[in-house]
């Protein structure tokens, strides 16, 4: 199999090119192409163009690999690698001009199912601020030349936590009840609006932890590897892995308490 570091080199190369395309399109003005699961769940022309660009670059470089993308769906490959891609994570931030969005690219092996796959390489690139978070399996997580490490445990003031809310208004009451359960653990909350950046910030120690219900596989595929390669723990429902039911990421000392509060179990 191709080494994780070789997969990472390709992910980084494509993430930088795709991020520059997304940034350039943003300066030219954003066109909303459609809404998806709810009125608030938008897709821009740039989302579609950037994913098409990433997919074409991957096909050219590694035609046998599989692909799972937010906008163009899944295609099984004949190699052991599947690329899991969110072309612009934080689409609403992108549409409003908030500089908190990222190209998220992960290479995984095994079934293209977050409950079964093994992440091998991850690149999360925010072109608005020029930060590229990267990780290869068993080779650590990095931001440029800085090796990343999660916060071993929160301060005595409590944990700085991030979360998110679904696009469907019908889910908001449950999300707010979850925040009420978690708040006793927190010094404060952040709502950044891009799961891949929430996860990258946990890996970088900018957040003590993150929890969110309802994420798609492409939202967390790359960021979860950043966290584990930075010494953190990722999970979902108790004993589970990140998924639609729940995604949790933090340092080891906080994990059990955050999981219990976020899941209500
Ligand atoms: C977004 C996530 C965010 C979540 C939003 C949405 P998108 O992904 O990154 O954490 O709260 O509801 O799922 O739609 O911008 O790719």
Centroid of ligand 1 to alpha carbon of 6 (angstroms): 28
Below-50 pLDDT ranges, the chain: none
Centroid of ligand 1 to alpha carbon of 89 (angstroms): 6
Centroid of ligand 1 to alpha carbon of 202 (angstroms): 16
Q: Any residues with Cβ below 6 Å from ligand 1, and which?
A: 70, 86, 89-91, 164-167, 193-195, 212, 219
Question: 213 near 246, Cβ under 8 Å?
Answer: yes
Ligand 1 atom nearest the C-alpha of 101 is 15
Fold of 4-147: Fructose-1,6-Bisphosphatase; Chain A, domain 1 (3.30.540)
Residue 96, pLDDT score: 95
Centroid of ligand 1 to alpha carbon of 68 (angstroms): 16
Handedness of CA 246, 166, 49, 198 (dihedral sign): negative
Ligand 1 atom nearest the C-alpha of 165 is 11
β-partners of residue 224 are none
Residue 31, pLDDT score: 80
CA distance 237 to 241: 7
Residue 265, pLDDT score: 86
Fold of 159-263: D-Maltodextrin-Binding Protein; domain 2 (3.40.190)
Residue 33, pLDDT score: 82
Strand, helix or coil at 88? strand
Residue 238, pLDDT score: 87
Helix segments in 2-100, DSSP class H: 4-28, 45-61, 91-96
Cβ atoms within 10 A of the Cβ of 150, count? 27
Ligand 1 atom nearest the C-alpha of 86 is 16
Centroid of ligand 1 to alpha carbon of 164 (angstroms): 8
Strand, helix or coil at 262? helix
Ligand 1 atom nearest the C-alpha of 47 is 16
Using DSSP bridges, classify how beta strands 118-126 and 102-109 pair: parallel, antiparallel or unpaired.
antiparallel
**Probe residue for ligand 1, chosen from 44, 166, 219, 248 as the CB with the greatest number of ligand atoms within 8 Å:** 219
Sequence spans of domains, the chain: 4-147, 159-263
CA distance 129 to 3: 29
Nearest Cα residue to 192 out of 184, 201, 183: 201
Nearest Cα residue to 135 out of 225, 37, 248: 225
Ligand 1 atom nearest the C-alpha of 167 is 12
């Amino acid at each position: 199999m191709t080494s994780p570091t070789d997969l990472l080199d390709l992910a980084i190369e494509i993430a930088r090119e795709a991020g520059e395309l997304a940034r350039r399109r943003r300066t030219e003005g954003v066109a909303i192409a459609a809404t998806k699961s709810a009125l608030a769940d938008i897709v821009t022309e740039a989302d579609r163009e950037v994913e098409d660009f990433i997919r074409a670059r991957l096909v050219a470089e590694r035609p046998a690999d599989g692909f799972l993308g937010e906008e163009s769906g899944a295609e099984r490959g004949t190699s052991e690698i599947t690329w899991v891609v969110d072309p612009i994570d934080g689409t609403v931030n992108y549409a409003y001009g908030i500089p908190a969005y990222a190209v998220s690219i992960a290479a995984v092996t095994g079934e293209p199912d977050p409950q079964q796959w093994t992440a091998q390489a991850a690149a999360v690139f925010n072109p608005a601020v020029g930060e590229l978070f990267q990780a290869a399996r068993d080779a650590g997580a990095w931001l440029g030349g800085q090796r990343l490490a999660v916060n071993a445990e929160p301060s005595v003031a409590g944990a700085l936590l991030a979360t998110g809310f679904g696009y469907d208004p019908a889910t908001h009451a449950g999300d707010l009840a979850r925040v009420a359960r978690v708040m006793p653990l927190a010094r404060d909350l952040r709502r950044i609006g891009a799961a891949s950046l929430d996860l990258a910030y946990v890996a970088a120690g900018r957040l003590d932890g993150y929890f969110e219900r309802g994420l798609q596989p492409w939202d967390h595929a790359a960021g979860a590897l950043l966290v584990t390669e930075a010494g953190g723990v990722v999970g979902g429902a108790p004993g589970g892995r990140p998924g639609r039911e729940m995604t949790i990421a933090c340092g080891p000392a906080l994990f059990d308490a955050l999981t219990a509060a976020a899941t209500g179990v």
